[in-house]
Structure 1
Amino acid sequence: MAGEIQPPMGLYCSCPPTTGNGNGSVIPEVAQLDHVDGVLVRLEWGTLEPSPGVYDWSLLDEQIARAELYGIKVSLAVVNGNAAPSWLSALGVDMFSFQFGTETREMPVPWDSTFQSRWTQFIADLGARYANEDTISLVYATNSSRNGFEMQLPFTPTDQVNWANAGYSDALYAQSWTDAIDAFVDAFPNHPVSHEVHPVLGSDDVANEVYQHARDTHGDAVGVLAAWWMVHNALDVYPGMFEILQDASYESHSQVQVANSYTNTPDRFSDEGYQGEIDLAIESGVRYMEVWNSDLLNASLTDLMIETAERLNTPFCGAGDMDENGVLDFFDVSAFLGSFGKSDPRADFTGDGRFDFFDISAFLGAYSAGCP
């Protein structure tokens, strides 16, 4: 990847959020594993800014110190939405009420001007403190949304009526995201930034507009996260988001967060089990993956996790890199021909279920394109 900002690579823990209870996101049993490269640290905006302009950085400082102790990196996400400070209401911020399971929650309306002003100021102050912190390997751009981390909004029929009453438009919501991304890039000029992509109220338009803005404005400094990562979701539920993720793998950088724990819910995984989720991500150019701490601590998955960490730490060199070693050479041609001769799905470069001249032509095109 060109430029000085290098995106993180490797196996990260999608560990529980840091709330002040226990060890937070940096769990010692996970952090001490040699094949774990880092951990996602999620903290609530309301915890970090308990009153307007007054900050409490102690939890984040503690998590960074813990990560340094174990020699791992931190991906930082400040959770917005329902985790925004309660004092915003007193400032006149328009709040949106919705059901989250059995709970009634509130989130700032993303295009409210007072909310945007306070959020932008917080981002700037966050960057003023941590812009030169090397232990932070990635900063997630977040916004007011259904869970304060991903892009989707509350979307029940009642929610959709209420959004219309609140003045929702794709353009307004997309602008709130592009403004947040711009603010994070300005605040963290030395760090890669990434944003999640999700359909919004049943449409791919917002995600596409936000991604295109990030590409046009910030180039390879801003990447894309798929927090919904499962084979079924990529191929059947969110194909438009999967296309964005694949494009980001070539044009900037990409991350996936496995949506489920194999230890707890193995039935939610592909027919190939965890291996299928890993293979599709890596074949799509992803070199950063967040997995649940329960799976990292599952002894039956340890060998697979070690192998996955090694694969993720090998640079992406395009679809033509059949042996995934980060270079294009004769061995990739040989691997393709071997797969083609056995009708291995990896050689089905056109994805039409057939093995013919068009697959050979597509492979040669990918090989000739070289590494991104």
Structure 2
Amino acid sequence: MRLFCTSFALLLCGLSLNAQIIEKPLGCFAGTNGTNSNVISHPDARGVLLTEKWSNIESTPGVIDFTLLDNKINIVKSAGLKYAIAISVGAFGSPAWLTGTLGADHFDFEYQGQNWVLPLWWDAIVEERLDALISALGEQYASDTLLSHVYVSQMTVNGIEGHLNGVDMAAFALSGFSNEQWIACAKATALKFGEAFPSKPIVFEIHEIDRDTIVPATIINDLVNEESLCERIGLGMWWISGKTSYQPDLITYISNFQGDKYAQVIGRSDQVERFQDGLYSTVFTQAKMLGIRYLEPWPYEFQNHTYDSLLQDFNSWTDLNFSPSDTCAVLSGVVFSSQGSQGITIYPNPTSGYLFLKTTAITETEISVYNATGRMVIPPTIQKELNMTHLPKGVYFVAIKTRDSTIIKKILKTN
């Protein structure tokens, strides 16, 4: 998101509104575990993504050991850089005791010539142990000022990316999978990360599920409109390549998505077959077209100085086009409702100009709109359609007043 106020305090409908400033990353971080001295000393590396398997953190149930992750973190911090965390769970990173000793339900499949065990996200044991892991991560790292952002762990094939490659979806459905079940589990885990890291950006990586965009789009849309996450959720694309032939519908969705976008390059620059027309530069062109604020080239690029000019240019471009921080509004003495609560829905959000109110309330509903500084920009009206085309883009607060309560809805106007 591009335009945000930096600080404010106001009274809205007699209610207290304060702001929490959320720092968000911009530009290039080195990709997975780029702790080589040549990587962290590169002038265009603004940070490093650090990953670790759940099985290496909790080799015995209930015994948490962050030593391996801390060793990587300390190397990055010694260079004065920020770091991001991604903990792999799922088939690739989950400890064997989860489905063995504890007996959590699971799905077995073969992928890339190997046999895998995928714990079921909706199993009660999996939910309990994953929640405990997330809480421990938050206790350990949430207050670290050099922690940039956190990726949501997913019960997928590699445990971070959102794909189920190699999984027979018909057989998986017999084990309990459904779109609704998957969406509910993904949202619950993302919210747990949001709770454990209350002041950090949270990123959810998306892939098609069963060759469709319905599931990832629903998850991201719902999380963006989740008030408790307070504009901290971002969309992750770990397969940006310059090409549009892979998951084209999802690329269209990403292009139209108005929130924060994070991406990881699909491979190293010497793997020319992975890039559009064999050109690594097309990644950066596509990233700009999609509105990506943050990009993870592989450590190879930083270590070998393969495309320094592209890294430098992308850093400069993000600095010009995005804000390094966002303002999270915190209201006291008011119900912050999600869409549809109390029979009230206001849509679309984000909006390009018009807002529509749908309500099942019997009593008359009055609407007013305030900008981020607290100034009323649309006076109280009983109209069910609001024209905001004359207002500049940015964050607004819609106050919806009924006979019994006032509900505040945060709205983003995009142009």
1:15-60 Cα deviation digits (max 9, x unpaired): 34xxxxxxxx422110011110011101001111111211101122
Q: Which residue of 2 aligns with 1:88?
A: 98
Q: Which residue of 2 aligns with 1:127?
A: 138
Distance between the aligned counterparts of 1:150 and 1:257, measured in 2?
A: 11
Q: Which residue of 1 aligns with 2:369?
A: none
In the TM superposition, 1:169-188 aligns within 5 A as 169-188=178-197
Q: Which residue of 2 aligns with 1:295?
A: 301
Q: Which residue of 1 aligns with 2:264?
A: 257
Letter in 2 for 1:87: W
Higher strand fraction (1 or 2): 2
Q: How many angstroms does 1:247 deviate by? A: 4.3
1:198-231 Cα deviation digits (max 9, x unpaired): 1011121110111122111124210010011122
Q: Which residue of 1 aligns with 2:29?
A: 12
Q: Which residue of 1 aligns with 2:279?
A: 273
Residue 211 of structure 1, aligned match among 197, 214, 220: 220
1:75-99 Cα deviation digits (max 9, x unpaired): 1000011211111122120121111
Runs of 5+ consecutive residues of structure 2 not aligned to the other structure: 6-19, 324-388, 395-413
Letter in 2 for 1:111: W
Larger radius of gyration: 2
Q: Which residue of 1 aligns with 2:10?
A: none
Q: Which residue of 2 aligns with 1:220?
A: 231
Distance between the aligned counterparts of 1:39 and 1:259, measured in 2?
A: 16
Distance between the aligned counterparts of 2:72 and 2:301, measured in 1?
A: 21
| Preserved CA contact (<8 Å) 1:110 1:116 | yes
Residue 239 in structure 1 maps to residue 248 in structure 2: yes
Structure 1 residues 105 and 222 mapped into 2: Cα distance closer, same or farther (>3 Å)?
A: same
| Preserved CA contact (<8 Å) 1:226 1:255 | yes
Distance between the aligned counterparts of 2:310 and 2:208, measured in 1?
A: 31
3-state DSSP class of the match of 2:60?
coil
Letter in 1 for 2:297: V
TM-score after normalising by structure 2: 0.70
Q: How many angstroms does 1:272 deviate by? A: 7.7
Distance between the aligned counterparts of 1:273 and 1:154, measured in 2?
A: 26
Q: How many angstroms does 1:164 deviate by? A: 2.1
1:306-359 Cα deviation digits (max 9, x unpaired): 222222333338xxxxxxxxxxxxxxxxxxxxxxxxxxxxxxxxxxxxxxxxxx
Q: How many angstroms does 1:8 deviate by? A: 0.7
Residue 46 of structure 2, aligned match among 26, 30, 37: 37
Q: How many angstroms does 1:160 deviate by? A: 2.1
| Preserved CA contact (<8 Å) 2:38 2:302 | no
Higher helix fraction (1 or 2): 1
Structure 1 residues 272 and 107 mapped into 2: Cα distance closer, same or farther (>3 Å)?
A: closer
Letter in 1 for 2:186: W
Q: Which residue of 2 aligns with 1:107?
A: 118
| Preserved CA contact (<8 Å) 1:11 1:312 | no
Identity %: 24
Name the count of aligned residue pairs. 309
